[in-house]
Structure 1
Amino acid sequence: MSARVPSTRVPSLYLVTDSALCGPRGVPAVVRAAVAGGVDAVQVREKGASDRDLLALVRAVQEVLEGTGVPLLVDDAVDVALVAGADGVHLGQSDLPAEDVRRLLGPQMLLGLSVSTVEQARAVPPGVVDHLGVGPVHATPTKTDAAAPLGAGGVRAVVEAAAGTPCVAIGGIGAANLHELRGTGVAGVCVVSAVCAAPDPRAAASALRAAWAAPSGAGVAR
């Protein structure tokens, strides 16, 4: 593969959707509110959905995001992302190899990859992915097959092993514990239930963004 310069569009407040947590409001409505509150990237993740249903949801979220400049990534389903013309794809460790997916996506689409260990971070091929999702930071019910919680120290070790690839932390993150990630080197945070399950997704997103933008001296992880 020829040399590639990864995108500089690294999310600082990244929302992963969950239809069950969004409830009767629906994913598009929650996304609309969350973006108004400061979310700057959205990943549509619907593990149990058929390809047709996932495509329909992706397109509905695309309509909400039109004109906002907020990128839309699709979890796992490379084919759906390409058909929909999404901005990118997010892969897990059991999905297709990142190098092969990059060849399918081309150089412009975003590509994220989940990592949970130092070894996984070191194995990421240079220049292939745009960012890594590091976690889980804490135990989370939104992903039943998640690895053991890393804690702030574990996140820091994985970020260091990533050797400059931008990282976002995920897993059990909320406005109350966001300060734990200061000093770990992550470029941003990724949330699911903290926004999707919130009574007011816009206010929840705004609180998360405010917590992330708080003075860097507050609560630095040791």
Structure 2
Amino acid sequence: MPRLYAILDAESCARRGVSLLETAKAWRDAGVTLVQYRDKVASDASVLENAALLRRVFEGTDATLILNDRVHLFAASGFDGVHVGQGDDAVAPVRAVIGPDAVLGVSTHNPAQVSIADGLAVSYVAVGPVFATLTKLDAEPVVGLDGVALARSLTRKPLVAIGGIAAVNASSVLEAGADSVAVISGLLDGDVAAFLRIVQE
């Protein structure tokens, strides 16, 4: 699993006045190979339109494209997988919809949820928020580096850490046991190529 999990969040792009499409192109050119497209407010039609544009951006690369929630749009999106949270559809029905080969990730926020996720048909387990984050106004309590380490001990599945991760702390998160760091603001506000170098060291 790539050590950088880039989340292309439509609201975060809009707040900064940057283009979703141009951001995706910059990430592609920098070498990002795992991207989740997240849009909590747009219509299904708009999400599918953007999904088609993103597919074209990453066409010919080995990038994996993940759709946040919107499980009912998975087939039409042409993406490689979906990511769901604790409040979204249960994992078993989602797996039934997307099929056995698609990537399926699930968010967890405490040891009990990590343990449960370890026994489910998911491709990876996300844990967080590791640090305080402004990207989600309804964020769960911070788990910290100790929470990442504990999650690592509870699952053998690939572990993705998320929440407040930036260039200054990404290495510590990986050292705590995460296989990959999921980043939103840290990529929109910084040098993507430099971030990639940090996590690959």
Per the shorter chain, which TM-score range? Answer: over 0.9
Counterpart of 1:15, as a letter, is A
Counterpart of 1:12, as a letter, is R
Tell me, in whole angstroms, the C-alpha distance in 1 between the residues paired with 2:94 and 2:11: 28
Which of 13, 19, 22 aligns to 2:10? It is: 19
TM-score (norm 1): 0.85
Task: Indicate whether 1:40 and 2:33 are aligned.
Answer: yes
> What residue number does 1:50 align with?
43
| Root mean square deviation, CA, Å | 1.5
> Do the aligned residues in 2 keep the contact of 1:22 with 1:197 (CA within 8 Å)?
no
> What residue number does 1:63 align with?
56
Which of 176, 186, 192 aligns to 1:205? It is: 192
> What residue number does 1:101 align with?
94
Q: Deviations over 1:148-184 (max 9, x none)?
A: 111111111112112x011111111111111221432
> Do the aligned residues in 2 keep the contact of 1:112 with 1:131 (CA within 8 Å)?
yes
Change (3 A) 1:127 1:94: closer
Which of 164, 188, 192 aligns to 2:184? It is: 192
Structure (1/2) with the larger helix percentage? 2
> Do the aligned residues in 2 keep the contact of 1:136 with 1:169 (CA within 8 Å)?
yes
> Do the aligned residues in 1 keep the contact of 2:118 with 2:157 (CA within 8 Å)?
no
Counterpart of 1:123, as a letter, is I
> Do the aligned residues in 2 keep the contact of 1:18 with 1:196 (CA within 8 Å)?
no
> What residue number does 1:132 align with?
125
How far residue 213 of structure 1 moved from its aligned partner, in angstroms, is 2.2
Choose between structure 1 and 2 for higher RCO, CA contacts under 8 A separated by at least 6 residues: 1
Tell me, in whole angstroms, the C-alpha distance in 1 between the residues paired with 2:174 and 2:71: 33
> Do the aligned residues in 1 keep the contact of 2:160 with 2:179 (CA within 8 Å)?
yes
Counterpart of 1:110, as a letter, is V
Map 1:131-210 to 2 at 5 A: 131-162=124-155, 164-198=156-190, 204-210=191-197
Tell me, in whole angstroms, the C-alpha distance in 2 between the residues paired with 1:159 and 1:166: 9
How far residue 12 of structure 1 moved from its aligned partner, in angstroms, is 1.5
Q: Deviations over 1:109-165 (max 9, x none)?
A: 110111111100111253611111111111111111111111111111112112x01
How far residue 88 of structure 1 moved from its aligned partner, in angstroms, is 0.4
Tell me, in whole angstroms, the C-alpha distance in 2 between the residues paired with 1:94 and 1:39: 28
Q: Secondary structure at the match of 2:117?
A: coil
Tell me, in whole angstroms, the C-alpha distance in 2 between the residues paired with 1:183 and 1:126: 24
Counterpart of 1:71, as a letter, is T
Unpaired runs of 5+ in structure 1? 1-9, 199-203, 215-222
Moved over 3 A (4+): none
What percentage of residue pairs aligned between the two structures are identical?
Answer: 34
Unpaired runs of 5+ in structure 2? none
Report the count of equivalent residues: 199
